[in-house]
Amino acid sequence: MDFSLTREQALVQKMMRSFTENEVKPIAAEIDRTHQYPAENVAKLFQLGVMGMTVPKEYGGMGADQVAAAICTEELAKACASTSDIVAGHTLCCVPIVEHGTEEQKRKYLPMLTKGGVLGGMGITEPNAGSDASKSQTEARLEGDHYVINGSKIFITNGPEAGVFVIFAMTDKTKGNKGLSAFIIESSFPGFSIGKVEDKMGLHGVHTSEIVFTDMIVPKENLLGKEGAGFKICMQTLDTGRIGIAAQSLGIAEGALEEAIAYTKGRVQFGKPISKFQNTQFTFADMAMRIEAARLLTYQAASVKESGARCTKQAAMAKLSASETAMWVTTKALQMFGGYGYTNDYPMERMMRDAKITEIYEGTSEIQRIVISANMGL
């Protein structure tokens, strides 16, 4: 079994480390403080091909593998979880179109979402339908050559900036999950609007909002897959999304470890750097071990996804392990900074705030445990 990166993956890693160090890290604290969307860096990520990393080349993407995509998210998250989340949210729009779209849908929307520089998003969650997508109240009614959609989605990553979304709505409420359908929509469609923009604990550089549909007109040809296939499309897309959140979590944890090591080497107490105290070293050893375990689970899940095999359990395990590792590592790392860690003079408090959401979105830690156990043949 070969655990080394391929030449392509290593090149992607090198590119993203350079971009993160030179472009992302210098403004990470500022966009967190001001809640400013990093438009210039997002434009550069489009130019680098990162926003279409796994989209086939014939549709404007890079045609890279799933591990390379995970590496992109991981490297960005080391310095700025907000920027990595913009990429992750965009990917959630691309994936279902690549995997379930018609040839016409792919040729229309994927070039927009890659070389066209149009940001994407995905709408699943509703006020009364969080972990249970079958409780969706958003309805789509077919009228001639178009659907009329009414309802709303909340907590939508990239909501205010995205131009294209994949959303889910009930076409037949009597069928439960089997009545859920997927649609490709544009923010320019009549009846689309932005609702509340959330004021969040962390991830201040990526905007999260409600999107509202009031008699929104959606062309019939924008149905993604067949009517009633939405739940299956949603769950398959979440498998990919959870790998992305695992990679984001991994990056946050790695970034926190790097910051803590640098700080403790320079912080002298009782006549020596605090990095020399056994208690500090044992904590670092535990951090490194947990991070490496999360990395292996994340890259394994990405590899299984790339092979074409079902990766539901692997994705859930990677997401659960990496997100809980990110929260644990950032908490321990902040403690090493003492009072300084609680201030915004250092990035630790931002990293800790950003880490928390990884245990919640794309399915909470509790949901991941349900998914894992459901796939154990119990």
Catalytic amino acids? 362
DSSP state of 133: G
Element (H, E) at 31: helix 25-34
Residue 156's Cβ-count burial label (10 Å; 0-12, 13-18, 19+) is: buried
Q: Kind of pairing, strands 164-170 and 120-123?
A: parallel
Give residues with Cβ within 8 angstroms of 370, minimum separation 6.
none
At position 290, the amino acid (one-letter code) is R
Do 342 and 349 contact (CB within 8 A), yes or no? yes
At position 303, the amino acid (one-letter code) is S
**Cα distances (Å, whole numbers) of residue 66 to 19, 62, 76, 247, 339:** 20, 11, 16, 11, 40
Q: How far apart are CA 200 and CA 186, in angstroms?
A: 25
